[in-house]
Structure 1
């Protein structure tokens, strides 16, 4: 019984210490945050008003605007 209570206490404490999962955006390639990291870029906003931080390699490439 003591082992069960100890295990339960450890599980509850570790669940409180690990950071919460952030909401995903941009086809699950970005993360909703208040601030983006230095290498991340903002392309769209999340539904909760936070920035959708996306790595530049996952952002769409702009189409060349050639006019003939």
Structure 2
């Protein structure tokens, strides 16, 4: 019975870990990756020299008329 409880506790703890563990960037809207998907763009680089892949709706827009 103790072995069963120990096994269940270990499985519960392991299920809480995120697989891959990608680092977040750009105000938590982007992810650090080697290559971005088709729906993402590179805006900045992460501290680990990977690309910060951000969806276009979260990137700041360029000003056409600077004041």
Same fold (TM over 0.5): yes
Tell me how far 1:20 sits from its aligned partner: 2.9
Q: Which runs of 5+ in 1 are unaligned?
A: none
Q: Secondary structure at the match of 1:52?
A: strand
CA distance in 2, matches of 1:29, 1:13: 26
TM-score calculated relative to the size of structure 2: 0.77
Equivalent position of 1:38 in the other structure: 38
Q: Which runs of 5+ in 2 are unaligned?
A: none
RMSD: 2.2
CA distance in 2, matches of 1:4, 1:57: 46
TM-score calculated relative to the size of structure 1: 0.76
Equivalent position of 1:27 in the other structure: 27
Instruction: State the aligned residue count.
Output: 65
CA distance in 1, matches of 2:16, 2:26: 27
Tell me how far 1:6 sits from its aligned partner: 2.3
Tell me how far 1:9 sits from its aligned partner: 4.5
